[in-house]
């Protein structure tokens, strides 16, 4: 069977009563890599948070489905077990819980009671993936994200991605704050996941990442909507001329979410 | 409810009890003097909790007789879980209510002159040591009404003596079992570590029943000589019918280290006082306390480090979880006396509230009477962070499991300090049961 499909239709999202997303439409299929670009404060993280079910974000209308199943009716953990994954722009730090214990809980939550992964197998898997991502093996026994540098946190998000093998992943600024070596490693991790059973939505400000992970589609977000979609060449155009050219073309003066087109 | 303060046990009773236990005259006199002082002395006054309605003094029976355990195999399951039943050469004391119920001391330790025995045997056989250290250096009988009551009525406990230069690596363990609804615990543990010695010690107070109205008045004294190191671990899980006063105090000599790891899991109302007096230059007091409060319980936990010597280091770390309509109060006190220059008093107290009705409080106090020192404190009272839960759940972990992870993580820095592995496991299980 081919991969899964995440379908988002006319999605409206509000935070504290303020509307941020104003009708987002996008479909991500297994095997596809989509990139969303866009200036600061245009709703990119809001979209990813709404998909995952962040408690602060309220979906006021529209729909999100995964293979036809209504994602909006699912709790956050159910969404994850259904196959969604979000690498967060700002991952939480959790004291006292080791990276390894956390990941094992996450894996076992998917496998269900009576079918837990053996400790040996888990350790082998984790070591292998950490080596692949050129992470210090000691990180497994450190508390989850606590005291991790910005780059280490991002790598750790990719480690989770690789361990959990979701159907559809959203990577929110996975490249921010990475030096060039770390960027290569993180890209290597994502490319390793590529395949017809894996769909991915990459949120980024930089064409640089897309040199390593070539997207199939590129979308631009402004004012809480996707205002333009295209292929990889769209990202290159933005890199060359910035957002001004596109804004002029679309007749947008202020791209932030407070404004109407 | 009126609180009766007249003691149910008089001089005649105490004197005959002392005779029955074949105590030496000095010890009997010590009891008598404390009994006389009882009436004049005030109750202790823990910060932020009014205890004038608490019953610490009225109870039916002073001692109960219980059968000893003839072997470890015979222990009830709950107690078996605390000890290593198949270990050879271990050093372990089990007391059942007031009865010394099991004792084993490794040959190696005996050969090195280590003494580990029940308190009454110690009073009879090691009178000189007891006379020197029992309620003379760490805690005095006349500090307040409850210390006097303890001195007058002490009815159980243990004595651990580590001679000069003896370094013990295998933890020594004491288990105090409470399984009689009439048993009131006036338990005293005295640990003396002579110069350059080292010892890890762990104790459990455990109830295997839910009794009616009983009283626990527990005192621990730790005397650490020059350059001695004492690691003191405790897991208290006494039942909810008990009113509990527990005072654990250490005195550190020059360059000595006293390290406490306390899991205070009682179900009954509890006043806990854990003080470390850093007398010698260069000494260290390190206290880690973890508490879970639940039900209608009120718990008041004072942790204090007093710096007398120069270059002394005090470190207090308190983590507590409180749920239902329980109240949990941490008082952290770092006190630096005049002359204790170059000393450092650090403390952190954190409370996590799991329900709307639960109340938590963390009061850091720094009392400093010397200029050339360092000090720092952090305190927080809060709830489980919904963003942390969101993060864990976004990886597929169900909400209850995510909460469990956050709570365990919150308590882990203290739990991980316990020096005996299976006691650590047991504390984890107690926590698990209590926070669920
Ligand atoms: N918790 C919140 N409370 C109020 N406003 C919020 C909250 N979170 C986001 N917003 C607002 O929603 C808008 C969109 O924010 P969002 O984080 O989605 O932007 P973004 O496109 O991801 O920006 P960036 O590129 O800077 O990450 C912004 O104006 C932001 O201030
Ligand atoms: Mg963002």
Distance from the alpha carbon of residue B95 to the mean position of ligand 2, in angstroms:
61
Residue of chain A minimizing CA distance to B396:
A77
| Residue B117 near residue B103, CB atoms below 8 Å | yes
Task: List, as one string, the DSSP characters of A112-136.
Answer: -TT-PPPHHHHHHHHHHHHHHTT--
B84 is a domain residue = yes
Residue B121, in any domain of the structure: yes
**pTM, rounded to two decimals:** 0.84
Ligand 1, from A12, A16, A43: best to mutate by most atoms within 8 Å of Cβ? A43
Q: Token digits for B112?
A: 């090195």
Looking at residue A253, its pLDDT comes to 87
What are the tens digits of pLDDT across the range A79-130?
999 999 999 999 999 999 999 999 999 999 999 999 999 999 999 999 999 9
Q: Which of A198, A179, A210, A176 is nearest to A88 (CA)?
A: A176
| Minimal Cβ distance to B394: which of A52, A103, A143 | A52
Cα of B413 to nearest chain A Cα, Å: 6
Q: Do B395 and A164 touch (CB under 8 A)?
A: yes
Q: How far is the CA of A46 from the centre of ligand 1 (A)?
A: 6
**Cβ-based contacts of A109 with chain B (< 8 Å):** 395-398, 401
| Cβ distance of A92 and B406 shorter than 8 Å | no
- What is the residue with the minimal CA distance to atom 9 of ligand 1? A46
What is the rounded CA–CA span in Å between residue A95 and residue B423?
A: 22
Would the CB of A43 count as within 6 Å of ligand 1? Answer: yes
Confirm if A134 and B431 have CB atoms less than 8 A apart.
no
Question: Of residues B3 and B20, which shows the higher confidence score?
Answer: B20
Which of B191-200, B238-247, B411-420 comes out lowest in average pLDDT? B411-420
**pLDDT on residue B1:** 39
Q: Which residues contact B387 (CB under 8 A, 6 or more apart)?
A: A92
Model confidence band, residue A261 (pLDDT cutoffs 50, 70, 90):
very low
- The Cα–Cα gap between B188 and B159 comes to 8
User: Helices (H) and strands (E) in chain A — how many of each?
Assistant: 9, 10
- Show the tokens assigned to B256: 């000595």
pLDDT at B5: 55
Q: What is the pLDDT of residues B87-135, one digit of tens each?
A: 778 999 999 999 999 999 999 999 999 999 999 999 999 999 999 999 9
pLDDT in tens, B372-386: 999 999 999 999 999
Does the distance separating the beta carbons of B396 and A88 come in below 8 Å?
no
| Segment (H or E) for B183 | none
Q: Is A113 exposed, middle or buried (0-12, 13-18, 19+ CB in 10 A)?
A: exposed
The beta-carbon neighbor of B396 closest among A81, A91, A94 is A81
Write out pLDDT tens, residues A174-193.
999 899 999 999 999 999 99
Q: What span, in angstroms and rounded, lies between the C-alpha atoms of B176 and B184?
A: 12
For residue B293 the two structure tokens come to 């409060």
B410 lies in a domain? Answer: no
- Tens of pLDDT, residues B324-370: 999 999 999 999 999 999 999 999 999 999 999 999 999 999 999 99
Residues within 5 A (CB) of ion ligand 2: A 44-45, 89
Number of C-alpha atoms within 13 angstroms, CB side, residue B235? 28
- Complex-level ipTM: 0.96
Report if residue B276 sits inside a domain: yes
Asked if residue B170 belongs to a domain, the reply is yes
Instruction: Using alpha carbons, select from A247, A246, A214, A245 the residue that is nearest to residue A231.
Output: A214
Number of domains into which chain B is organized: 1
Residues B393, B308: Cα–Cα separation, whole Å:
49
Residues of A in contact with B386 (CB under 8 A): 55
The overall longest dimension of chain A from CA atoms, in Å, is 59
Structure tokens at B315: 């470190």
Please check whether residue B428 lies inside any domain of the structure. Answer: no
Instruction: Provide the residue range defining the domain that includes B338.
Output: 11-383
Instruction: Decide: A51 and A170 in contact? Cβ < 8 Å.
Output: yes
> A236: distance to nearest CA of chain B, Å?
33
Res B86: pLDDT: 81
Could you read off the pLDDT of A139-151 as tens digits, one per residue? 999 999 999 999 9
What is the Cα gyration radius of chain B?
21
C-beta neighbour count of A216 within 10 angstroms: 15
CA–centroid distance, residue A36 to ligand 2 (Å): 11
Task: Report helix, strand and coil shares of chain B as percent, to nearest 5.
Answer: 25, 40, 40
A91 touches B: beta carbon within 8 Å: yes
In a domain, B105, yes or no: yes
pLDDT in tens, B299-308: 999 999 999 9
Check: CB of residue A34 under 8 Å from CB of residue A200. Answer: yes
Angstrom CA distances, B14 to B18, B27, B151, B152, B182, stand at: 6, 11, 11, 7, 18
pLDDT(A260) > 60:
no
The reply to whether B228 falls in a domain is: yes
């Amino acid at each position: 069977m081919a991969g899964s499909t995440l379908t988002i239709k006319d999605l409206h999202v509000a935070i504290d009563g303020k509307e941020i997303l104003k009708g987002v439409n996008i479909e991500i299929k297994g095997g596809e890599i989509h990139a969303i670009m866009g200036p600061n404060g245009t709703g990119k993280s809001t979209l990813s948070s709404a998909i995952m079910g962040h408690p602060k974000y309220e979906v006021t209308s529209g729909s999100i489905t995964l293979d036809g199943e209504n994602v909006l009716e699912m709790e956050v953990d159910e969404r994850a077990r259904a196959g969604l994954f979000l690498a967060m722009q700002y991952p939480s730090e959790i004291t006292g819980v080791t990276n390894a214990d956390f990941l094992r809980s996450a894996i076992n939550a998917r496998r269900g009671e009576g079918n837990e992964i053996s400790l040996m197998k888990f350790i082998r898997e984790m070591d292998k993936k950490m080596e692949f991502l050129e992470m210090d093996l000691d990180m497994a026994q450190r508390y989850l994200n606590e005291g991790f540098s910005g780059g280490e946190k991002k790598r750790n998000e990719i480690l989770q991605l690789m361990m959990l093998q979701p159907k559809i992943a959203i990577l929110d600024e996975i490249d921010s704050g990475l030096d060039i070596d770390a960027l290569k490693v993180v890209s290597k991790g994502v490319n390793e996941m590529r395949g017809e059973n894996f769909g991915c939505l990459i949120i980024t400000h930089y064409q640089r990442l897309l040199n390593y992970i070539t997207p199939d589609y590129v979308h631009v977000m402004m004012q809480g909507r996707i205002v333009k979609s295209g292929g990889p060449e769209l990202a290159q155009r933005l890199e060359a001329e910035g957002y001004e050219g596109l804004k002029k073309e679309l007749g947008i003066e202020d791209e932030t979410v407070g404004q109407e087109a | 409810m009126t609180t009766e303060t007249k003691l149910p046990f008089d001089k005649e009773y105490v004197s005959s009890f002392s005779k029955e236990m074949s105590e030496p005259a000095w010890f009997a006199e010590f009891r008598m003097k404390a009994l006389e002082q009882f009436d004049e002395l005030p109750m202790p006054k823990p910060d932020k909790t009014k205890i004038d309605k608490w019953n610490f003094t009225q109870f039916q029976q002073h001692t109960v007789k219980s059968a000893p355990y003839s072997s470890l195999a015979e222990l009830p399951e709950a107690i078996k879980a605390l000890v290593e039943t198949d270990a050879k050469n271990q050093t372990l004391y089990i007391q059942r209510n007031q009865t010394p119920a099991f004792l084993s001391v490794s040959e190696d330790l005996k050969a090195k002159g280590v003494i580990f025995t029940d308190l009454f045997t110690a009073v009879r056989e090691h009178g000189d040591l007891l006379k020197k250290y029992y309620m003379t250096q760490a805690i005095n009988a006349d500090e307040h009404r409850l210390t006097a009551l303890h001195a007058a009525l002490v009815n159980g406990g243990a004595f651990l003596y580590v001679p000069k230069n003896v370094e013990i690596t295998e933890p020594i363990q004491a288990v105090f079992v409470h399984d009689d609804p009439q048993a009131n615990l006036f338990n005293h543990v005295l640990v003396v570590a002579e110069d350059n010695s080292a010892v890890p010690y762990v104790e459990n107070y455990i109830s295997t029943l839910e009794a009616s109205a009983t009283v626990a008045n527990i005192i621990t004294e730790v005397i650490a000589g020059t350059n001695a190191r004492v690691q003191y671990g405790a897991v208290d899980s006494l039942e909810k019918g008990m009113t509990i006063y527990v005072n654990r105090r250490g005195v550190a000599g020059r360059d000595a280290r006293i390290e406490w790891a306390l899991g205070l899991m009682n179900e009954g109302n509890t006043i806990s006082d854990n003080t470390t007096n850093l007398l010698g230059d260069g000494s260290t007091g390190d206290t880690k306390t973890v508490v879970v409060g639940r039900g209608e319980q009120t718990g008041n936990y004072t942790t204090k480090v007093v710096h007398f010597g120069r270059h002394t280091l005090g470190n207090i770390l308190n983590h507590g979880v409180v749920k239902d309509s329980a109240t949990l109060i941490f008082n952290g006190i770092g006190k630096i006396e005049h002359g204790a220059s170059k000393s450092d008093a650090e403390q952190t107290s954190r409370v996590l509230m799991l329900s709307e009705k639960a109340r938590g409080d963390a009061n850091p106090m720094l009392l400093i009477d010397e200029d050339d020192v360092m000090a720092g404190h952090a305190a927080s009272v809060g709830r489980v962070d919904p963003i942390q839960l969101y993060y864990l759940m976004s990886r597929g972990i169900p909400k209850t499991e995510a909460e469990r992870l956050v709570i365990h993580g919150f308590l882990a820095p203290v739990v991980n300090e316990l020096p005996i592995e299976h006691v650590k496991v047991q504390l984890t299980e107690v926590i698990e049961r209590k926070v669920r």
